[in-house]
Amino acid sequence: MVEAALPFPNFDPVLIHIWGHFGIRWYALSYIVGLLLGWWYVVRLIRDKALWKPPAAKPPVSVDDVGDFVVWATLGVIVGGRLGWVLFYGTFLCSVSPDAGYCHGLPGAFLTDPIRIVAAWEGGMSFHGGLLGVIVVLWLFARQKKIDMVRFGDLIACAAPIGLFFGRIANFINGELWGKPADVPWAVVFCNQRILEAYGGRCPAGIMPRHPSQLYEAGMEGLLLFVIMYVCLRVFRLHERPGLLGAIFLTGYGTFRFIAEIFREPDTPFIGWFSLGMAFSIPMWLGALYLYWYALRPQAKTV
């Protein structure tokens, strides 16, 4: 075995043990921190008068609207993320490759044991499902509040990398979604005493060094994408063309996720080397193309 340059720490996925299987998990905390910091960041953008001088005369929403939307977004992320996993992975991928380690009788088990549909505590959340959930609640929220969905969506897109960063860090702490075997100096052996105890003396990732693909994604989808969105907003003032920031976010996430999938161990085989995560980048790029057209079409006006 090649010695890993970065041994995997003996992280406990439960930050605070309360009683039995109940506790505060790092993964749940990443959702909470991501939503709260995203809320704070969007409010800060709205209150920044330098962003809203002509032609961007005023923010698309009020500070109170942002607070209200956080509740909607939380439901969208959780419900969409779980249902997305059930449909995309638990149903589709487990039908294609029923021997995948996480399937355990899925999708048939969804019918014989329906509680598994909502059993997110056993693992299983999809970013793409969460994204669809947020888009749906954003549309409903905009209709109810009579606000511009596209302009508000641009601000949300600027904050989204915050949640992505913390989510990927939580994936690393949990020792899940690991990368492919690697001989790079920073490769990690995703095996420690906690994982051995949890899985009956074995480590699902084996004992070979692997790419820490969760950290690659945290860096690209989180930090780098946040900087790109920040520069596009602050320096180039692209919020003055509604839809352009949303397009850049979809382009950036789709591209960075595609790159990360090259190093990440696929959840289960899809089409040779082409993983389902890569496939999901295609509709994101198509959505970005529509938003580019929307923002740059000749009759479009700055706000």
3-state helix/strand/coil string of the chain: CCCCCCCCCCCCCEEEEEECCEEEEHHHHHHHHHHHHHHHHHHHHHHCHHHHCCCCCCCCCCHHHHHHHHHHHHHHHHHHHHHHHHHHHHHHHHHHCCCCCCCCCCCCHHHHCHHHHCCHHHCCCCHHHHHHHHHHHHHHHHHHHCCCHHHHHHHHHHHHHHHHHHHHHHHHHHCCCCECECCCCCCECCCCHHHHHHCCCCCCCCCCCECCHHHHHHHHHHHHHHHHHHHHHHCCCHHHCCCHHHHHHHHHHHHHHHHHHHHECCCCCCECCECHHHHHHHHHHHHHHHHHHHHHCCCCCCC
Encoded tokens for 200: 């009956």
Confidence (pLDDT) at 4: 47
Tens digit of each residue's pLDDT, the chain (303 residues) = 445 457 788 888 777 767 766 677 888 899 999 999 999 999 999 999 999 987 657 999 999 999 999 999 999 999 999 999 999 988 988 887 777 667 778 888 888 888 888 877 666 889 999 999 999 999 999 999 999 999 999 999 999 999 999 999 999 998 999 999 999 999 999 998 888 887 888 898 999 999 999 999 999 999 999 999 999 999 999 999 999 999 999 999 999 999 999 999 987 667 778 998 999 999 999 999 999 999 999 865 556
Confidence (pLDDT) at 22: 67
* Domain ranges within the chain, ordered by starting residue: 1-60+149-303, 61-147
What is the C-alpha end-to-end distance of the chain, expressed in Å? 59
pTM of the entire predicted model: 0.93
Rounded Cα–Cα distance for residues 297 and 293 (Å): 5
Confidence (pLDDT) at 74: 96
Rounded Cα–Cα distance for residues 105 and 294 (Å): 44
Confidence (pLDDT) at 199: 81
Q: Per DSSP, what are the bridge partners of residue 181?
A: 210
Rounded Cα–Cα distance for residues 217 and 262 (Å): 11
Confidence (pLDDT) at 1: 44
120, 78 Cβ separation under 8 angstroms? yes
Residue type, 207: I
